[in-house]
Structure 1
Amino acid sequence: MAGPLAGLKVLEFAGIGPAPFCAMVLGDLGADVIRLARPGTSTDARDVTTRNRRTVTLDLRSEGAVEQALELVAAADCLIEGFRPGVMEKLGLGPKECLAANPRLIYGRMTGWGQHGPLSHAAGHDINYIAITGALHAIGRADDTPPPPLNYVGDFGGGGMLLAVGLLAALNEAARSGRGQVVDAAMTDGTALLSAFMYGMKAMGQWSNQRGENLLDGGAHFYDTYACADGKFVAIGAIEPQFYAEFCQRCGIDDPLFKGQMDASRWPLLKIRLADVFRTRTRDEWCEVLEGTDACFAPVLDWDEAPKHPHNAARGTYVTLDGVLQPAPAPRFSRTSNSTPHAAAATSMDDALHAWRAPVAAGP
């Protein structure tokens, strides 16, 4: 497919969660991704994170399988694996063997805890990994337990997306040095990195350790979600004074108490009063009043509503592939635009090797 990573060859050892997501992102951007999967692994189009690749089935514990896998490794630019530390080494496909077969290879390792450390061999999932970084503690209401924020923060933001950044950074270095290397992407490290802004705010005395007391965690009345008359929700983010003033004006708020926007002592009471305001109209009625203005407003849409929103529809933010509605590739590029993604397709080892060994056509 088209895209700025056209010509990049990525070998993915099939797994779950952040590693497939990373491979999807690279495939969306034009990389040629081959997914090496154990027998019986599905190529179901409903598994969105497996799009934009060809799948080769191979039992790595069978005779001669490791040698076949190393043939693909020798032709690849990047490798992605998401197993516990030591698993690839036991298979004979660790960094030592793979870099021996391909000294320019970028070997990407995706784990929760990282390749070393006291917890590196323990089982875990997204919620565990983000728990030890401070991020999970900071999410949620002051009077409740921290909620599981889906698996956006650890798996996909601090995990798969950071692995993609690491792979591309290492590729850039390899273009100069001619040498590959290992990228150790841990969700604990990535989640901590995503928290850089909050740690900075805390250092400046502008962020409390207590949930629900801060500017961006639901503490402020002007940065939160509210229920409407129909039980649906809206999101408000009117931080800047001029946006806050427009928000209050459009909502018909003339209570002088609202003029002390940044007086945190007023926030709990103002949240109650603002909740009363939003309960006077339905979500759609509030959209008529606030959407598209500088009041920093948006309706809270569900999975079915979001693709139909006029802004998302105009930008083509969602696409339908084999009957499956899903997010379109992002970001956008001015010249090397991404084409519509394609579903995962099975291919043979011979065909995969032939495609990767074929000379790359010269550019214009």
Structure 2
Amino acid sequence: MKVIEIGSIGPGPFCAMMLADLGADIIRVDRVAGAELVGPSADFRTEVLNRGRRSVGIDLKDAAGRELVLGLVERADALIEGFRPGVAERLGIGPQECSERNPRLVYGRMTGFGQEGPLARTVGHDLNYVAQSGVLSLIGRAGQPPTPPLSLVGDFGGGGMVLALGILAALWETRRSGAGQVIDAAMCDGAALLGAAFHGFARTGAWNPARGTNLVDSGAPFYDVYLTADERWIAVAALEPRFYAELLAVLGFDAASLPEQHDRSQWPRLKELFADAIRARTRDEWVEAARGRDACLTAVLDVEEAAEDEHNRARGGFVEVDGLTQPAPAPRFSRTPARVDSPPPLPGEHTRSALADWGVSQDAVASLVEAGVLSSISEPTPSSADADRLEP
């Protein structure tokens, strides 16, 4: 599968990373100068979301650069862009222009609020989209404000992963119809979809709108995290009666002396009893006490521990690429294993080789480099951020 990724940040790169992990040949189109990272990372070589594909530097505002991208579209199966609505059209690489060059192209569009609607052109970040979806209102502890769920629900789950699924589904349909189509992936839509079960619970009265009072939102004493004697944490998630009985046995409780598991009026008291008991031993002592038992008790590992954990190592859950440890591709395949083929690129690092592999002559590349339409650089040049590009 051949994919053009118009360089962006957050959900677009996550979508492209997933496809690259699964074997897609992806050209990432970065700016000819001034490509930037927005967020904690300041090093392109450690931007894990950009792994597994090659970068070319193209000036999309130059007619020759636009024509080059449209020429690549003729050879592509899919394109991913994360501009605000209307920007790709102004650049001349919108769905209509691309479809005219390749009617089978699947055109993936990643935005926060979608291609139309009152908020379509409103600037935002992950948290805004999750708030709009209704899901943010459900996340948090009792008496506390809603808790930002990192960028997992909007950018990555509701955004990049949903777009990747849409692209693959559209490509499957194209095999039958012979026609491409546009994928309108909005993070507010995807975040709502991730929360489908909880939207359903709320509308049928099965969910208390007060945060931190429900079964899986930290309300239940048997579904929460607890501090241990060594100032570390364990997670318990013993929902079913048989698992709950095992948890009580591990913690040293006599079930007959405790309130009934689902007596919500007694949950605060039961939570205090659990907290006091768990505070008496270290995290690893609790893990050892629960080993081999169905108590649903797990250590809360930090990122360093997760990479070195016995189970995760046995599964190959993390890989090291150029000295950078990172999560391995998922899911697992029995016959065609996914893998990380290359580290994150510098912007424009593969301009010559990637374009050659996609059928662009080296003479044409050399001419465009000389004209400033293409860059083939070894280090990024700092510049102000492009306000038209999606931000995490």
Report the TM-score when normalising by structure 1: 0.93
1:32 aligns with 2:38: no
What amino acid does structure 1 have at the position aligned with 2:337? Answer: S
SS in 2 for 1:64: helix
CA distance in 2, matches of 1:203, 1:262: 21
CA distance in 2, matches of 1:69, 1:293: 57
Query: 1:278 corresponds to which residue?
Result: 278
Specify every segment of 5 or more residues in structure 1 that has no aligned partner in the other structure, as ranges: 1-7, 359-364
1:355 paired residue among 349, 354, 357: 357
CA-based RMSD of the aligned residues comes to 1.5
CA distance in 1, matches of 2:110, 2:291: 40
Query: 1:4 corresponds to which residue?
Result: none
Query: 1:226 corresponds to which residue?
Result: 226
Compared CA separation, residues 18 and 201, structure 1 to 2 (3 A)? same
Query: 2:380 corresponds to which residue?
Result: none
What amino acid does structure 1 have at the position aligned with 2:294? Answer: D
1:15 paired residue among 3, 8, 13: 8
**How big is the shift at 1:255?**
5.3
Runs ≥4 in structure 1, deviation > 4 angstroms? none
Query: 2:98 corresponds to which residue?
Result: 98
Query: 1:5 corresponds to which residue?
Result: none
**How big is the shift at 1:263?**
1.4
1:154 aligns with 2:154: yes
**How big is the shift at 1:93?**
0.6
Give % identity.
Answer: 53
CA distance in 1, matches of 2:32, 2:291: 50
What amino acid does structure 2 have at the position aligned with 1:64? Answer: A
**How big is the shift at 1:331?**
0.5
What amino acid does structure 2 have at the position aligned with 1:26? Answer: L
CA distance in 1, matches of 2:359, 2:25: 12
Contact 1:130/1:188 (8 A) holds in 2 = yes
1:185 aligns with 2:185: yes
Structure number with greater CO (CA < 8 Å, separation at least 6) is: 2
Cα-to-partner distance string for 1:234-270 (whole Å, 9 max, x where unaligned) = 0000001110011111211115353511111111111
Query: 1:307 corresponds to which residue?
Result: 307
Contact 2:318/2:328 (8 A) holds in 1 = yes
**How big is the shift at 1:292?**
4.5
Matches within 5 A, 1:103-252: 103-252=103-252
CA distance in 2, matches of 1:340, 1:128: 32
**How big is the shift at 1:357?**
4.6
**How big is the shift at 1:320?**
0.9
Cα-to-partner distance string for 1:266-301 (whole Å, 9 max, x where unaligned) = 111111111111101010111111145311111111
What amino acid does structure 2 have at the position aligned with 1:149? Answer: P
Cα-to-partner distance string for 1:83-128 (whole Å, 9 max, x where unaligned) = 1101101101110101111100000000010001111101100000
Contact 1:291/1:298 (8 A) holds in 2 = no
CA distance in 1, matches of 2:205, 2:265: 16
